[in-house]
């Protein structure tokens, strides 16, 4: 017997529906905020994808040689593909440029709760602006999506890559070691991160600053940022980073968006390309991030383009679905007004098909009974599948231009005029 490949899943109708619901709301959000959808290939050249993700993702890519001997890989994220487009075909487009993508991604992660080898993201990238309102937009948009989906108690973990980079650059630490520090911080291994700094011969002042920094976090954003300012006062670009994060969060707050945050001065994300504000939303029910994003002003030039600033976010659709399930939030399903049309006799079948078509034209989801079952068996089947209405088409009623309409939940039925059928269903309260 064949099984799915390890880490791959079949999504059964109920889960597929939940995934598509999140996808649909994420697409609505893209339209509301002016992000145009692009569709890029699942397969890209290995070198493009490997160029600037992180060691960790690079090692977990599904990479192979195609039959033409090209080294290719399944995309582990959208950002590299979008950056490729912006550096090439879209390079002369006027800015700002807002791009949306949704689809499946592949990472050879160790399968566990909320971690799959094939997963879905809704990805938003905003190109062309270095200003804090661009960062604020990405936070507001993410908050809007999670709120519209009905998610509760989510909180944004927020930081800024240049706080740490400002300190370590000033101390002369090379980019390779800095990446190692960031990877360790991403895994919350603060002690080991400090050990790398110690081995790299940074100043005592730097070690004390880092120790204090890694402990600084809290829900009162401006209070935390006030402490961070004091801690990094000897490091000019770290101070500028704190100011930048302050402005972003101030804009979000003054816009009236209620964002629950946890500002963490030592927060780092696994990806290497970030150069500014970074964030991840969490819910208490799940210990993995629902999404992740941030500013990355240097990636486009790496792909051969001119320097174009960028900020973006990828929402993890699978994890959002898991959180909604845990919180007992389910999307309103089409079944609420669903109809099955059953023909009593062969001679009324054509009319049953005609009626089905008319009902669908009014937006009602309609299934036709196609198994040739008796009325009672067809009704039992409709009941089992949670269909809301049955329309029974029989030669006797048809003579008077009527059919039987049955409300499945109430087990009540009545004869209705065909001309009133759609109206009767739409107006009924089931
Ligand atoms: P990321 O943090 O690697 O960022 O992924 C974003 C989200 O994708 C995660 O928070 C998670 O919800 C989901 N995700 C990642 N890996 C898995 C997995 N193995 N199973 C299930 N869900 C997963 C990025 O991908 C960046 N490209 C985001 C970005 C866009 N930054 C700027 N623009």
pLDDT of residue 95: 96
Region of 103 please: left (phi>0), alpha (psi -120 to 50) or beta.
left
What parts of the chain have a pLDDT lower than 50?
none
CA of 120 to the centre of ligand 1 (A): 9
Query: How far is the first Cα of the chain from the last one, in angstroms, to the nearest whole number?
Result: 43
pLDDT at 21: 96
Atom 11, ligand 1: which residue's CA is nearest? 316
DSSP for 49-73 reads HHTTS-HHHHHT--EEE-TTS-EEE
Give the tens place of pLDDT for each residue, 45-101. 999 998 877 777 888 999 999 999 999 999 999 999 999 999 999 999 999 999 999
* Contact of 280 with 289, CB cutoff 8 Å: yes
User: In the prediction, which pLDDT does 205 show?
Assistant: 94
Q: Which pTM was predicted?
A: 0.92
> Cα separation of 420 and 362, whole Å?
12
In this structure, the residue with its CA closest to atom 4 of ligand 1 is 292
DSSP element (H, E) containing 188: none
15 CA → ligand 1 middle, Å: 20
Strand (E) or helix (H) holding 403: strand 402-407
Residues having CB within 6 Å of any atom of ligand 1: 77, 79, 107, 109, 115-116, 119, 121, 123, 125, 271, 280, 289-294, 296, 312-314, 316, 318-319
pLDDT at residue 172 in the model: 94
Looking at residue 255, its pLDDT comes to 96
Tell me what pLDDT residue 306 has. 86
pLDDT for res 55: 77
Among 51, 55, 44, smallest CA distance to 106 is for: 44
């Amino acid at each position: 017997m064949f099984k799915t490949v390890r880490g791959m899943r079949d999504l059964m109708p109920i889960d597929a529906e939940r995934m598509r619901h999140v996808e649909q709301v994420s697409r609505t959000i893209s339209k509301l905020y002016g992000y145009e959808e692009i569709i890029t290939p699942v397969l890209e050249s290995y070198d493009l994808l490997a160029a600037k993700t992180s060691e960790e993702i690079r090692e977990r890519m599904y990479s192979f040689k195609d039959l033409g001997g090209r080294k290719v890989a399944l995309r582990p994220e959208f950002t590299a593909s979008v950056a490729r487009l912006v550096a090439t075909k879209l390079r002369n487009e006027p800015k700002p440029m807002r791009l949306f993508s949704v689809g499946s991604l592949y990472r050879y992660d160790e399968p566990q709760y909320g971690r799959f080898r094939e997963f879905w993201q809704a990805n938003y990238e905003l190109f062309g602006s270095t200003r804090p309102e661009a960062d604020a937009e990405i936070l507001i948009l993410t908050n809007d999506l999670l709120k519209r989906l009905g998610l509760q108690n989510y909180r944004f973990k927020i930081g800024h890559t240049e706080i740490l980079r400002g300190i370590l650059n000033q101390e002369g630490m090379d980019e390779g070691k800095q990446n190692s520090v960031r990877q360790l911080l991403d895994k919350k291994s603060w002690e080991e991160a400090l050990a790398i700094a110690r081995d790299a011969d940074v100043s005592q002042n730097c070690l004390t600053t880092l120790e204090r920094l890694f402990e600084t976090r809290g829900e009162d954003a401006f209070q935390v940022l006030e402490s961070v300012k004091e801690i990094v006062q000897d490091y000019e670009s770290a101070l500028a980073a704190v100011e930048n994060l302050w402005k972003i969060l101030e804009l979000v707050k003054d816009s009236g968006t209620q964002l629950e945050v946890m500002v963490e001065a030592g927060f780092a994300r696994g990806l290497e390309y970030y150069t500014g504000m970074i964030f991840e939303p969490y819910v208490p029910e799940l210990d993995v991030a629902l999404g992740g994003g941030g500013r990355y002003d240097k990636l486009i030039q790496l792909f051969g383009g001119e320097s174009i600033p960028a900020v973006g976010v990828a929402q993890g659709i699978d994890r959002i679905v898991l959180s909604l399930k845990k919180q007992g939030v389910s999307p309103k399903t089409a079944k609420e007004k669903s109809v099955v049309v059953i023909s009593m006799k062969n001679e009324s079948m054509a009319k049953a098909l005609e009626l089905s078509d008319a009902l669908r034209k009014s937006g009602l989801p309609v299934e036709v009974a196609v198994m040739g079952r008796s009325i009672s068996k067809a009704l039992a089947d409709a009941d089992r599948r949670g269909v809301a209405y049955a329309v029974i088409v029989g030669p006797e009623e048809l003579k008077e231009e009527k059919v039987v309409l049955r409300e499945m939940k109430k087990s009540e039925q009545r004869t209705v005029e065909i001309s009133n059928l759609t109206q009767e269903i739409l107006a009924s309260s089931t």
